[in-house]
Structure 1
Amino acid sequence: MLARVPKFFKNFYFLTGVVFLVWMIFFDSNDFITQYQTSRKLAILEEERDYYVEKIQEVQKDRKELLSNPELLEKFAREKYLMKKPTEDLYIIVEKDEEELEAEQEQK
C-alpha cells in the first residue's frame, strides 16, 4: 500500500506543511474560521460606531440651535413636552388609527 503513494507525499516537508495547515484551520485558537468571524464582528461594530458618531453630531447641532434660539426652544418645549403658559389652555387632539375606526364602525 505504501508503495503506491507517490514519493512527493512521503516528503517530510510536505507532511509537516499539511499538519501545519490542518492545525491552523481547525485546532488553533486563532484559526481561520475564528479570524473570519472576528473580522465580520469588527466590521459591524465599525458601522455601528459610524452611525452613533453621526447621531451624536446631529444631536449636538440640534442642542446648539435650541440653546441659541429662545423661540425654537419654546416651540420644542410646547411640541415635545406639551408645556404651556399659565394663561393658556392646552387641547390635545388624538387621531385614531385605521384599526380603531374600523372597530368603531363594526360596533355600530
Structure 2
Amino acid sequence: MNLRKINIPPILKNKYILTLVVFGVWMLFFDQNNLWDKRKLNSRINQLEKQKHHYQVEIEQNERKLSEIQESPESLEKFAREEYLMKKNDEDIFVIIEP
C-alpha cells in the first residue's frame, strides 16, 4: 500500500503538532502523574481533610471538658459518675439502657 495515496490531513503531517499530541496523550494516560492518579489522590486528600476537621473539633471538645473538670470538684464528680459509673458508698446505681 502506498502511503502517498492515503489522505492524511495536513495538520497531522506537521511533526511539531504530532509530537505535541503524542506528548499530551503520554502525560494524560501513561505518566506516573496521570489524570486518573491525580483524581484519586485529590479524593483522598479531601477525605483526609474532613477527618482532620472532625478530629480537631473532637480535640477542642475534649480540651473544654478537661479544663472544666480541672476547675471544679463537682464537675469531676459528675464526670466520674456519668462516664465510669462511680458511686458513693451509700448509693445504688441503676443503669437504664434505651433501645
Q: Provide TM-score, normalisation by structure 2.
A: 0.85
Distance across 2 between alignment mates of 1:96 and 1:37: 42
Match of 1:61 in 2: 64
Alpha-carbon RMSD across the aligned residues, in angstroms, is 1.7
What pairs up with 1:1-108 in 2 under 5 angstroms? 2=4, 3-86=6-89, 88-95=90-97, 97=99
Letter in 1 for 2:11: F
Distance across 2 between alignment mates of 1:45 and 1:76: 32
Q: Deviation string for 1:28-86 (max 9, x for gaps)?
A: 01101111111111111111111111110110011100111111111111122111122
Q: Provide TM-score, normalisation by structure 1.
A: 0.79
Question: Any stretches of 5+ residues in structure 1 without a counterpart?
Answer: 98-108
Aligned identity (percent) is 36
Distance across 1 between alignment mates of 2:98 and 2:17: 75
Question: Any stretches of 5+ residues in structure 2 without a counterpart?
Answer: none
Per the alignment, in what secondary structure is the counterpart of residue 87 of structure 2?
A: coil
The count of corresponding residues between Structure 1 and Structure 2 is 96
